[in-house]
Amino acid sequence: MEFLFIHQNFPGQFAHLAPALAAKGHRVAALASRFSEARTWRGVRILSYRYEPPADARLHPWLGAMNRAVDRGAAVHRACLSLREKGLRPDAIVAHSGWGEALFLRDVWPDARIGVFSEFFYRAEGADIDFDPEFRKGAEIGRAHRVDMKNLPLRLQLEAADRGISPTRWQADAHPPCLRERIDVIHDGIDTDAIRPDPGVRLTVESHGSWSRADEVVTFVNRNLEPYRGFHVFMRALPELLRRRPRAQVLIVGEDGVSYGTGPDGGGTWREAMTREVRPDIPDADWARVHFLGRLPREDFTRALQVARVHLYLTYPFVLSWSLLEAMASGAAIVASDTPPVREVLNNDETGLTVDFFDTGALVSRTCDLLDDPDLRERLGRAARAHVVGNYDLKRVALPVQFEWIRALTER
């Protein structure tokens, strides 16, 4: 069969499924805007489309997300018309709905089956919006309507599709019932053969240092260091954590952009803003044990998780990060925020320890509890890995279910 994956930052969530279909002998193409030229990756023919963000200054503020989605959807539509003229006839299309890329696909290939990756559906209350009181901006007239308009392109794509897929129950359940019934909950999968405990691991990062399991390493990971993933809470816990753990080495992995939310008031990065806030409370000798490693290559990122005695994961009620499950697969002892969808994958005192997202004292105390108790670390780390292997393993759990989802999609 012939498949087309659409994701502006391909491969994204399709990093395993697309090449796995190609390996089974199917013809697989992908359409993305991150590349300037066509290329082949793991049997997948990657095609590119051009996209320039629209000027939306004259639009109603509630229409910003919709305008960008329509504009990107139109760019994909034009690219797909061109591909159709060149002979592309996909039996099934799988697209991420987050940017509007699947809005107008049905017009191009009426007979193709369409599945959308439904990652998140925004709520005016009960999720990320206004979760953090520090960033609340007071009463907002019409917030529910603004959120409805932000969700509109997500809704339109799912309504036009044959089926949706979402990685966690909580993310799927965020959708209203009429849309939720169209979504199957299937995680992207974690390669637990490659991401596993390694007692002999050593991580070496030029200009920073080298660490092994003999070191007292605490890790914290964000794609971008920002409040949505608790970076501000983590940084405020650092002075006390460093004071109580004079041998701890803190490895912080992540870049300085913004994936979600906004940057700090006054400009700059969240790393700069939070460093200015906490640095006066941290002596130079302690600050020398804090290492901002930026973005690591895949192999070094895995080593960072493997070398960790304790891994910290904080998030607003929002999309679940791969890094949490990968840390669990590495056998790390976890301290995580007691927020959805963390509760879906990590049970307190069974597969990790949970704390209130905003409680820096509890974050420090629970981290120290783990650092002081190797038996507890071993028990939690072993159970965490077993949970991921049993429920999220790529080859034995996730991919077989994804293949069944694809089969059902093409037969509808």
Average confidence (pLDDT) over 350-357: 98
Average confidence (pLDDT) over 244-251: 98
**Structure confidence by residue, pLDDT tens digits, 122-162:** 999 999 999 999 998 777 889 999 999 999 999 999 999 99
- Tell whether 261 and 160 lie within a shared domain: no
- How many angstroms separate the CA atoms of 366 and 368, rounded? 5
Percent over 70 (pLDDT), the chain: 100
Q: At 235, list the tokens.
A: 């940084």
- Tell whether 404 and 381 lie within a shared domain: no
Length of the chain: 412
- Tell whether 324 and 313 lie within a shared domain: yes
If one counts the domains in the chain, the total is 2
Average confidence (pLDDT) over 337-362: 98
- Tell whether 145 and 70 lie within a shared domain: yes
Yes or no: say if 126 and 172 are a contact pair by the CB < 8 Å rule: no
> Which pTM value belongs to this model?
0.95
- Tell whether 67 and 175 lie within a shared domain: yes
Q: What is the CATH number of the domain that holds 344?
A: 3.40.50.2000
Average confidence (pLDDT) over 369-374: 98
Residue 107 in this model has a pLDDT that exceeds 80: yes
Residue 24 banded pLDDT, cuts 50, 70, 90: very high
At 172 the pLDDT is 98
**Structure confidence by residue, pLDDT tens digits, 313-325:** 999 999 999 999 9
How high does pLDDT run on average in the chain?
96
- Tell whether 29 and 149 lie within a shared domain: yes
At 365 the pLDDT is 98
- What is the domain extent for residue 228? 202-392
- Tell whether 10 and 117 lie within a shared domain: yes
Residue 39 in this model has a pLDDT that exceeds 90: yes
